[in-house]
Chains A and B, each alone.
Chain A
């Protein structure tokens, strides 16, 4: 399978935190979610592969054969956006458009205007426009997304794009991901980080789970849903079920948690209900297991 980004042994050390070694592959043509708790290293990894932060060792290979993230060619192909203060806060839509038009050949002012309208933002050509600092967190994020989506890129790298969006806006963002990928005909990729996958589940094809600077699990969502099961049972069988579970939550009436599918038969025998987990449930299970293993 073609990869949009192949991450080979990337490491980065900060005071009190080490990222890596990271070995991962972002499959081409799909939307990949980088999932982890706060402080897991998602932003650090995303910043490194976007060329925003330096790395201590390792390399990233883009589109099978490109390695120099500083080259203008790669900068044109990659659309990066962070969630916090991405643009100077005294800018308005017109400033964003002026800067982006000069900074990127692939930026389309026309497309930006259409996206501003779709996201209910100020028209970049209007005389009265609010500065970014005066916008709500959600509208600010919409402005950042409009700017990056107005470019013709092959890879979108978005750091926590959904964190400040309302549910309707998150749904719109999922639609935009699907449109972006469909227009690329298998040649476009989306990589986004999130600590709350619930609202982005339907836009996610591939998931990479991170904990304490390491990748702990990765795979296509459908494959992961076959690899793991969601188990519910009553309190009587909780003690027998617990050793077979990866994550476990119990109260007086029963228990639930994630288990490996290979333990399905044994768990079924304990009079439990087994179902396919959602990506949200999977995330909680996998990350909780990682925490307990520390």
Chain B
């Protein structure tokens, strides 16, 4: 096997695998959780208004600062990340055979996975920046304010790192369930941790952030090595 690095760059690898430019795809994928967020906000306000018979102030004060809202922001992000983590293009899946014949072969796939990880981090950042805007403008302030947003960001990165390992699960259904549920479970630890620390960011969060960075690096490396050895050219 040719061990030379592919001349393909990360944006080129993303283009090969997604059929569209990396920037365009990242922006589109960033929009998806924002649309879900908007839908959630509109829906919740309508329900609230009906509940409080048109008293907007009562609705807003009931909803904002609710700890439930703090969890919802993370839960909206979870399925988006879960779907992207599952993009491995096994040989038996649509596109699987095509991607094994393109320039660079496995090296291009590795660059695609790295690009996808970077894209997920950008999407998470964009999404939580909008949530921060809602916080600052007091349109939808969270129970623990900016701490909640930062804690959710850290737990989202943890989810990307941890659940990345799950893609090596052989069975399709088991892999999908593990990644999806795992992403949900890990993301809610962010807001959950603030119950323990009384809404403050502590050394625990710093340690979690460092662990997330390490896990993202390790899961990428480990998953790629495993995938190359057991799944790139072989059937499951």
Residues of A within 8 A of B (CB): 14, 47, 50-54, 68, 70-72, 75-76, 78, 80, 82, 85-89, 91, 94-96, 98-99, 102-105
In the bound complex, residues from chain A placing their C-beta under 8 Å from that of B233 are: 52-54
Q: What are the nearest 4 A-B pairs in CB distance?
A: A95-B19, A54-B233, A85-B94, A103-B102
Q: Does B12 contact A (CB under 8 A)?
A: yes
Question: Whole-angstrom distance from the CB of B80 to the nearest CB of chain A?
Answer: 16
Q: Of B19, B97, B103, B108, which contacts A47 at CB under 8 A?
A: B97
Number of residues in B with C-beta < 8 Å to the partner? 31
B234 x A54 contact (CB < 8 A): yes
**B96-137 near A? 1/0 per residue, CB < 8 Å:** 111011111100100000000000000000000000000000
Answer whether A102 and B100 are a contact pair too, CB < 8 Å, given A54-B233, A68-B2: no
B104 x A52 contact (CB < 8 A): no
A91 x B93 contact (CB < 8 A): no
Answer whether A75 and B97 are a contact pair too, CB < 8 Å, given A54-B233, A70-B2, A99-B19: no
B102 x A75 contact (CB < 8 A): yes
In the bound complex, residues from chain B placing their C-beta under 8 Å from that of A78 are: 101
Q: Does B39 contact A (CB under 8 A)?
A: no
Residue with the highest number of chain B CB atoms closer than 10 Å, among A14, A47, A94: A47
In the bound complex, residues from chain B placing their C-beta under 8 Å from that of A50 are: 101
Answer whether A102 and B12 are a contact pair too, CB < 8 Å, given A14-B235, A85-B93, A88-B19: yes
Question: Whole-angstrom distance from the CB of A188 to the nearest CB of chain B?
Answer: 18
B101 x A88 contact (CB < 8 A): no
Question: Whole-angstrom distance from the CB of A191 to the nearest CB of chain B?
Answer: 14
| Complex Cα gap A47–B104 (Å) | 17
What are some 8 contacts across the A-B interface (CB < 8 A)? A51-B101, A52-B233, A72-B2, A75-B101, A75-B102, A95-B18, A99-B18, A103-B102
| Complex Cα gap A86–B100 (Å) | 11
Question: Whole-angstrom distance from the CB of A55 to the nearest CB of chain B?
Answer: 9
B16 x A53 contact (CB < 8 A): no
Q: Does B54 contact A (CB under 8 A)?
A: no
| Complex Cα gap A86–B99 (Å) | 9
Q: Of A68, A72, A85, A94, which contacts B95 at CB under 8 A?
A: A85
A51 x B105 contact (CB < 8 A): yes
Residues of B within 8 A of A (CB): 1-2, 6-8, 12, 15-21, 89, 91, 93-98, 100-105, 108, 233-235
Report the nearest B residue to A72, measured CB to CB: B103
| Complex Cα gap A236–B12 (Å) | 71
Question: Whole-angstrom distance from the CB of A80 to the nearest CB of chain B?
Answer: 5
Answer whether A89 and B103 are a contact pair too, CB < 8 Å, given A54-B233, A99-B15, A103-B16: no
Question: Whole-angstrom distance from the CB of B207 to the nearest CB of chain A?
Answer: 39
Report the nearest B residue to A43, measured CB to CB: B97
A102 x B2 contact (CB < 8 A): no
A98 x B20 contact (CB < 8 A): yes
In the bound complex, residues from chain A placing their C-beta under 8 Å from that of B19 are: 87-88, 91, 94-96, 98-99
Question: Whole-angstrom distance from the CB of A59 to the nearest CB of chain B?
Answer: 13
Report the nearest B residue to A54, measured CB to CB: B233
In the bound complex, residues from chain A placing their C-beta under 8 Å from that of B2 are: 68, 70-72
| Complex Cα gap A54–B229 (Å) | 11
| Complex Cα gap A99–B1 (Å) | 24
Question: Whole-angstrom distance from the CB of B27 to the nearest CB of chain A?
Answer: 16
In the bound complex, residues from chain A placing their C-beta under 8 Å from that of B108 are: 103
In the bound complex, residues from chain A placing their C-beta under 8 Å from that of B97 are: 47, 52, 80, 82, 86
In the bound complex, residues from chain A placing their C-beta under 8 Å from that of B104 are: 72
B16 x A52 contact (CB < 8 A): no
Report the nearest A residue to B101, measured CB to CB: A80
Answer whether A76 and B103 are a contact pair too, CB < 8 Å, given A53-B234, A86-B97, A98-B15: yes
| Complex Cα gap A89–B93 (Å) | 10
Report the nearest A residue to B89, measured CB to CB: A88
Q: Of B15, B18, B103, B234, which contacts A104 at CB under 8 A?
A: B103
A53 x B105 contact (CB < 8 A): no
- If A86-B94, A99-B18 are given as contacts, then 16 extra A-B residue pairs at C-beta distance below 8 Å, sorted by A number, are A51-B100, A51-B101, A53-B233, A54-B233, A76-B103, A78-B101, A80-B101, A86-B98, A88-B19, A95-B18, A95-B20, A98-B21, A102-B16, A103-B16, A103-B102, A105-B103
B91 x A52 contact (CB < 8 A): yes
A87 x B103 contact (CB < 8 A): no
Residue with the highest number of chain B CB atoms closer than 10 Å, among A53, A75, A76, A102: A102
